[in-house]
C-alpha cells in the first residue's frame, strides 16, 4: 500500500525485453535500504524489486530493477517509457508512517489524458479526460492518484475533471514536465469504487 506522496523522481536507465520488460531506475534511495522483493510505486504502478545496486549515473545514489508484464505495459504508461524518462517514486507504506495523502494500492485502473493546462498565479490548473468506464468514480473534492501522486479533484464535467498543482508538487514530482496530450496513470479512490459497487448492488 502507498499514500500517493512522492518521495523521489527516478530516471529510467535501462529497458530490456526478456520475456517481460526489465526496467532499471536510477534513484536517490540508498540501495542498502531496498530489499529484494520490496514494492515501489513507479508513476503509480506497484512494481517488485528484483535487483539493486549503487548508482551508476550522475545524480543517482543507487538503482533498482523491476519487471513488468505485458498486462502492465498495456494498461499503464509504462509501455511508453524511454531511456531518460523521469518517474515518480514512492516506497511502500510501513506501520507507523504518516498517511499524508490517501490509501493508494498501486494497481492502475487506466489512463487519463491531459486536455488543457492553465497557469493561475503560481499554480497550474490541469484538465484531464478519464476513460468512460472510470469517470463515474471521480467526484468533486474526492481523491485520485495520477502518476502515483495523491490529488484532490476540483471539478467534474462528464468524463473530464480538473486538478490544481501548487509549485511544490511540480518541483518534487514529474508533474513539472507535464504537457497537453500526455497520458497519465489513473487509480481511482478505493472508497469510491466500493460505494459505487454497493449502489449497483442495491439498484
Asked whether residue 164 is assigned to any structural domain, the reply reads: yes
Range list of β-strands (E), 43-91:
45-54, 62-68, 86-91
- Do 119 and 71 fall into the same domain? no
Shared domain for 82 and 158, answered yes or no, is: no
Q: Is residue 104 a part of any domain in this protein? A: no
Q: Is the pLDDT of residue 195 over 90?
A: no
Last residue within a domain, chosen from 41, 59, 91:
91
Kindly state whether residue 99 falls inside one of the protein's structural domains: no
Residues 129 and 180 in one domain: yes
Same domain? 56 vs 19 = yes
Do 127 and 161 lie in a common domain? yes
Answer yes or no: do 75 and 120 share one domain. no
pLDDT in tens, 13-37: 999 998 899 999 999 999 999 999 9
Average pLDDT, the chain: 92
Give CA–CA dist 73/76, Å, rounded.
5
- The percent of the chain in helix, strand and coil, each rounded to the nearest 5, is 20, 45, 35
Mean pLDDT of 142-154: 96
**Tens of pLDDT, residues 93-134:** 876 666 666 888 999 999 999 999 999 999 999 999 999 999
Q: Coil, strand, or helix at residue 57?
A: coil
Do 192 and 146 lie in one domain? The reply is yes
Per-residue pLDDT at 94: 76
Tens of pLDDT, residue by residue over 151-163, are 999 999 999 999 9
Does residue 120 share a domain with residue 44? no
Determine what percent of the chain is predicted with pLDDT higher than 70: 91
Residue 43 has pLDDT above 90, yes or no: yes
* pLDDT over 70 at 186, yes or no: yes
Element at 71 (helix H, strand E): helix 70-75
Band the pLDDT of 203: cuts 50, 70, 90: low
Q: What is the three-class DSSP state of 190?
A: helix
Q: Mean per-residue pLDDT for 63-69? A: 97
Cell readout for 132 is 468512460
Q: Report if residue 98 sits inside a domain.
A: no
User: What would the mean pLDDT of 75-95 be, rounded to a whole number?
Assistant: 93
Which residue range is the domain that position 130 belongs to? 110-202
End-to-end CA distance of the chain: 31
Looking at the structure, do residues 123 and 197 belong to the same domain, yes or no? yes
Instruction: Give me the pLDDT at residue 158, please.
Output: 96
Question: Looking at the 3D structure of the chain, how many domains does it have?
Answer: 2
Query: What pLDDT shows up at residue 109?
Result: 94
Q: How confident is the model at residue 202 (pLDDT cuts 50, 70, 90)?
A: low
Question: Which range has the worst mean pLDDT, 84-88, 96-100, 172-176?
Answer: 96-100
Instruction: Check whether residue 122 and residue 153 sit in a common domain.
Output: yes
User: What is the CATH classification number for the domain harbouring 174?
Assistant: 2.40.30.20
- Please check whether residue 1 lies inside any domain of the structure: no
* Cβ atoms 77, 146 nearer than 8 A: no
Question: Residue 197: its pLDDT value, please?
Answer: 62
> Which pLDDT value is given to residue 200?
65
Q: Which of 33, 64, 91 is where one domain is finished?
A: 91
Amino acid at each position: 500500500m502507498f499514500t500517493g506522496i512522492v518521495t523521489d523522481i527516478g530516471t529510467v536507465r535501462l529497458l530490456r525485453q526478456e520475456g517481460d520488460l526489465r526496467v532499471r531506475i536510477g534513484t536517490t534511495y540508498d540501495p542498502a535500504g531496498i530489499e529484494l522483493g520490496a514494492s515501489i510505486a513507479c508513476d503509480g504502478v506497484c512494481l517488485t524489486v528484483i535487483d539493486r545496486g549503487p548508482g551508476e549515473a550522475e545524480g543517482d545514489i543507487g538503482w533498482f530493477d523491476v519487471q513488468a508484464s505485458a498486462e502492465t505495459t498495456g494498461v499503464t504508461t509504462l509501455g511508453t517509457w524511454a531511456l531518460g524518462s523521469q518517474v515518480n517514486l514512492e516506497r511502500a507504506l510501513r506501520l507507523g508512517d504518516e498517511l499524508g495523502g490517501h490509501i493508494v494500492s498501486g494497481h492502475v485502473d487506466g489512463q487519463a489524458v491531459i486536455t488543457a493546462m492553465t497557469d493561475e498565479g503560481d499554480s497550474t490548473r490541469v484538465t484531464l479526460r478519464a476513460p468512460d468506464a472510470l469517470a463515474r468514480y471521480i467526484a468533486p473534492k474526492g481523491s485520485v492518484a495520477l502518476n502515483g501522486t495523491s490529488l484532490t479533484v476540483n471539478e467534474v464535467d462528464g468524463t473530464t475533471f480538473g486538478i490544481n498543482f501548487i509549485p511544490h508538487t511540480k518541483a518534487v514530482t514529474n508533474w513539472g514536465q507535464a504537457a497537453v496530450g500526455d497520458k497519465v496513470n489513473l487509480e481511482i479512490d478505493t472508497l469510491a469504487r466500493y460505494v459505487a459497487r454497493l449502489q449497483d448492488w442495491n439498484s
